[in-house]
Amino acid sequence: MLSAIDDYYRRYNANVHRGVYRIAAEATDRYEAARRAAAELVGADPRGTVFTRNATEAINLVAYSWARHELAPGDEIVLTVLEHHSNIVPWQLVCAERGAKLRYLPLREDGTVALDALDELLASGRVRLVAVTHVSNVLGTILPVAEIARRARAAGALTLVDGAQAVPHMPVDVAAIGADFYVWTGHKALGPTGIGLLHATPELLERMPPFLGGGHMIKRVELDRSTFNDPPWKFEAGTSPIAEAIGLHAAIDYLRALDLARVREHERELTRYALARLAELPFVHVPGPPADERAGVVSFTLDGVHPHDVAEICDRHAVCVRAGHHCAQPLMRELGVTATTRASFHVYNDASDVDRLCEALVAAHELFTR
């Protein structure tokens, strides 16, 4: 990934869809090849694949360009309590502006979603959108997004899936899921920061007004009006994230060579091992589902030790974990805590990392409770 970005800046550093000279044409070709690679990775249509700054901006794009123009007073959007703030705050803003309402799916005790509650909400006939995470960034819960999309569609609602925590960890097929919008981000997929993706059908994007105005997203500009480019370029105003897209393409090639099905199995086995090891420590509490129903994310609390202190002790043992509310404050309140410590796994982790984590947790507990 780093070499691909360096190669761009050294050999063909030019803007895309602008110049006709050789290096500009090469930059454009590489940029559009990255779009096709990203769409192919998740079984989406490249004509409906929009590059954004991150997954947050992709969700905001849908909130601004679809929801602000489609929602009426009394309409409803359904979320889950599991959501990252990026899949809550944009909908709060648009609902406040349009007079619509947010509804939330409750969680079971094991951190999974109760689908019968979704049916009850959809029965009102007022739900226009169901926006859910594919994988919880706190509990690792894998939601049945294809079934959620099917039920939403049957009730006349659209579906948005936040796939930021899913795409680099398991096979994803956007077409099979049936979501109207699917978003993810490059830096969680072993790629660079500064690039995200929105996948939708070209027909749906065609009906949506632009998100931002400027160069590249137009066909013709007059003094009093403009006509806009076709999707996906209609939503990519200004200079594109060219180096980021090229770097992401290299990361995608790496992920495809690994085989995401094997990545998923590796993480499942490692998560199963981690849950078993943590269960041996009576002062550790781990919310969420079993390994088969979660991705490689394990959040936990320690008796008598604040999560930030846990993270500090882990760092002293060369174990990197995150502590805090993880941009999921409603979920923290649902769990009855203010924060957790979170360990997450990928292809570069193995059982020895879990063992070192457990050693650090024992050390933290002994230090703060002696």
**CA neighbor of 210 nearest in space, from 8, 3, 69, 1:** 69
Q: What are the start-end ranges of the E strands in the chain?
A: 49-52, 76-80, 101-105, 127-133, 158-162, 181-185, 196-199, 218-221, 226-228, 284-285, 297-302, 322-324, 340-344
Among 95, 314, 320, 327, the active-site one is 327
- Residue 358: active-site member: no
Amino acid at 1: M
- Facing residues of 142 across strands? 135
Q: By the 8 A CB rule, do 328 and 141 touch?
A: no
- For 351, other C-beta atoms within 10 Å of its C-beta total 12
Chain mean position to CA 124: 28
Q: By the 8 A CB rule, do 38 and 182 touch?
A: no
Question: 42 vs 37, 191, 256, 322, CA distance in Å?
Answer: 9, 15, 11, 28
Q: Which residues are catalytic?
A: 327
